[in-house]
Structure 1
């Protein structure tokens, strides 16, 4: 595959980011309903918490481009909430483009949170070869400077897809070589499948999300033992609403 073809999807993603500026952004009520932080929300504490997490991760990465895995200890720990809001907080910086990738192939949900049609081309379509151009699965959203690669059709047997050469090509192409690109992977639970372990070997950094008062210390330690420890940036405790 030529070098020119490899960088082409990144250019398309950046063009999508510019086009996304023409989309009407979510208003305050829409953001609240979707539990997405914004830089101008009345209660700044949630946004500040994600700003702090963003700053720590970017410092750990050296301030450049970043591919980040957000993975829950168990189903219901709240990793999708953290992934979406971390992407939003990273995109507060107008120089940065964030590409959010839904890797939860068994139970995808990010397309609903971002108001994307259920039949939009997604990750599975590219990994299974139905879509050849990566830019076809990268969609603008109503969150400024945040793009989404939805999961696409549900798949129970997801390990072979996520561990494939096409998945590595996708991540390398999205991250690219230009400055200001962050790729955030929303992963399935460590306890549910080997998918999280596979993905942790591909991302530069990983954040483990534990449900505060929900996931036991033993479960957290077991999840840590499964992930690539060199790339594990830390554990984020999320207060899961009841």
Structure 2
């Protein structure tokens, strides 16, 4: 990673491969949402598709964190058996500009692999929670967040969850062709809501989505709640092989990214190439704790 004067972390330039149009919503599947059609059916093991092997391990009562919590679950052995009710085809992935190991655009794949490797080196190989935010609307933060999560899911010994925390303009459910009935804010607002109701398969092996949710009137109130902090702690501690990426509204337009960065391990800034001044980048980077700020990705 190259260093830029005036920033508090390394800047990663992904060059021309990351398009500023990557945050545009994709058209829904003409045949209707696959997950909703499959929801009432049983998989080959006789389990409803709405009950995912990984999500059943964390329910509201499991938010009580105690000694040996992780030891009660054999996480790694379950990863390879995670149910995937549908798979996005290579054409689907290319259309949505999502990386995958067999992609013809290996330059882009390798850039995200390199970014993943640097983050793993920074964390000492441990899993982590990370906020990804942009310097402005359209910077491509959702694009970077989703592809970084996909890169972690390449490894058959790891899983990833991407959480749509952009409550003002959530897009990840559209990109992944998911029509959610409930999401993060519903879980935070309803103590009795089972977390399996908000974890959705993405069509990408070992990658799950938690959509924004239906209740979005006062975003800051959700993110400053004790339940949000408890939720992130529980997901990370109970899934030691899972990497959690939070996609947020631009840090220059909302306090959400700064709020969430305080309760996450790391924060990353996405900068549109030529789209903002160096002063804007420096001010945005200064919004984060320098000990948690891993740097900026140039997207353009």
Q: TM-score, normalised by structure 1?
A: 0.89
How many Å separate the matches in 1 of 2:227 and 2:263? 12
Mark the CA change 1:4 to 1:36 in structure 2 (over 3 Å): closer, same or farther. Answer: closer
1:94 aligns with 2:156: yes
Point out the structure with max Rg over C-alpha: 2
SS of the residue corresponding to residue 71 of structure 1 reads strand
Match of 2:256 among 195, 198, 218: 195
Could you give the per-residue CA deviations for residues 10-55 of structure 1, whole angstroms, max 9, x where no partner exists?
A: 96x9899667543232111110111100011112011000000000
Cα shift at 1:69: 1.0
Cα shift at 1:229: 1.7
How many Å separate the matches in 2 of 1:126 and 1:154? 10
Q: Which residue number in structure 2 is paired with residue 27 of structure 1?
A: 89
Q: Which residue number in structure 1 is paired with residue 278 of structure 2?
A: 217
Contact 2:79–2:158 (Cα < 8 Å) also in 1: no
Q: Which residue number in structure 1 is paired with residue 42 of structure 2?
A: none
Match of 1:134 among 195, 214, 217: 195
Contact 1:189–1:196 (Cα < 8 Å) also in 2: yes
Match of 2:130 among 57, 68, 84: 68
Aligned residues: 237
1:120 aligns with 2:181: yes
Match of 1:158 among 219, 231, 234: 219
How many Å separate the matches in 2 of 1:70 and 1:160? 20
Moved more, 205-214 or 79-88: 205-214
1:237 aligns with 2:298: yes
Match of 1:183 among 244, 254, 272: 244
Q: Which residue number in structure 2 is paired with residue 146 of structure 1?
A: 207
Cα shift at 1:122: 0.4
RMSD across aligned positions (CA): 2.5
How many Å separate the matches in 1 of 2:197 and 2:80? 16
Could you give the per-residue CA deviations for residues 59-101 of structure 1, whole angstroms, max 9, x where no partner exists?
A: 1111011111111111111000000000000111000010110
How many Å separate the matches in 1 of 2:63 and 2:165? 27
SS of the residue corresponding to residue 286 of structure 2 reads helix
Q: Which residue number in structure 2 is paired with residue 55 of structure 1?
A: 117
How many Å separate the matches in 1 of 2:259 and 2:161? 20
Q: Which runs of 5+ in 2 are unaligned?
A: 1-59
